[in-house]
Amino acid sequence: MHGDLGDRSSPRSGGALANFPITERWAPSHLDRLQLYSHGTPNGVKVSIALEELRLPYEVHRVPLSDEYVKSPEFLSLSPNNKIPAIIDPDGPGGEPIGLFESGAILIYLAAKTGRLAGSSEAERYEILQWLFFQVGGVGPMLGQFGFFHAFGGKDIEDPRPRDRYLSETRRLLNVIDGRLEGREWIAGDYSIADIALGPWLETIERFYKAEEITGYDGRPRVVDYVARFKTRPAVMRGWSVLSGE
C-alpha cells in the first residue's frame, strides 16, 4: 500500500501537492496518494500502522531526526513543531489537499476519513478519544522521558532524580493500563485508534528501552498479553517495517 522514498532533491511536483514546500525536498512519485513523512519511532509508526490497518494507499518518506532535516524550512512548512509524523492528503475535506502534523490529530483525521477505528456511536467515539488523549498527554511524554534517562543520552547523568521521577510515573501509568485491561481485549472496546496510539509506546519498553524488569512490565500479564496481541497484527508489523527498514 505504500511507496518508499528517502530525502530527494527535485523540482516541486505539480497537482494537488504543488503548494506544499516540503515536496521540494521529499518529492512524491505518486501524486494521488497520501504522503507520510515519518520515522521508526513510537510516535512515527502510529500513522503508518493506521494507514496499513485502513488499507489507504500512501507514499512513505523516511525523515531522519537530525536538525538538518526536521528543522529544515521544507519540513517546518508542514510540521512547525519540527516533529514527525506529518502527512499531506491530496484528497482532503471537500476534495482539497490538507496537511497535518501531530500524531493524535492525524489518527482522528484518518478515522473520520474512512469511518473506521473510532467506534460506531458517539458514546464509543468519546470513549476511544479519552484513551487516545491519555496516550498523547501521558504515556508518550512520560515513557519518552523515562527512556531518555534510562537508555539513551540521559543515562549517564549521576543525579538519579530525573530517571526516578519518570520511572515512577511509567509504573503508575502501567498500573492504570493494567487495571483498564481487566476483562478487555483492547483499551476502549473494539480495536481502535486508541490502541494504535498506545501499542507502539508499550512495545518500546522492550523494543528500545530493555526495561521490562525495572518498570515491572513483566509483572503485569494483562499488559504483556495486550502488547502481544497488538504487535502480531500484520498491519502493525508492516507499519513498523516501512519506517524502520526491518
Here the CATH number for the domain that contains residue 103 is: 3.40.30.10
How does the average pLDDT of the chain come out, rounded?
Answer: 94
Domain assignment present for 245: no
Strand partners, 4: 60
Alpha-helix runs per DSSP H in 185-246: 193-207, 212-215, 221-231, 234-244
Here the CATH number for the domain that contains residue 208 is: 1.20.1050.10
Mean pLDDT of 87-95: 97
pLDDT, residue 246, reads: 52
Is 218 found in the same domain as 138? yes
Q: Which of 98, 116, 134 is the C-terminal boundary of a domain? A: 116
> Which one has a higher pLDDT value, 13 or 31?
31
Q: Residue 15: give the domain boundaries.
A: 2-116
1-16 confidence digits (pLDDT tens): 665 545 544 444 457 8
Mean pLDDT of 124-148: 98
Is 54 found in the same domain as 32? yes
Domain count along the chain: 2
Domain assignment present for 174: yes
Q: Report the 10 Å Cβ neighbour count for 209.
A: 19
Is 129 found in the same domain as 91? no
99-125 confidence digits (pLDDT tens): 999 999 999 999 999 999 999 999 999
168-222 confidence digits (pLDDT tens): 999 999 999 999 999 999 999 999 999 999 999 999 999 999 999 999 999 999 9
Is 181 found in the same domain as 142? yes
Lowest mean pLDDT, pick from 9-13, 48-52, 222-226:
9-13
Is 129 found in the same domain as 111? no
Is 89 found in the same domain as 132? no
Is 140 found in the same domain as 103? no
Cβ pair 101, 83 in contact under 8 A: yes
- CA angle, 203 as apex, 197 and 205 as ends, to 5°? 120
Break the chain down into helix, strand, coil percent, rounded to 5.
Answer: 55, 10, 35
Is 34 found in the same domain as 17? yes
Is 155 found in the same domain as 221? yes
Overall residue count recorded for the chain in this entry: 246
Q: Which of 65, 83, 116 is the C-terminal boundary of a domain? A: 116
pLDDT, residue 14, reads: 58
Strand partners, 50: none
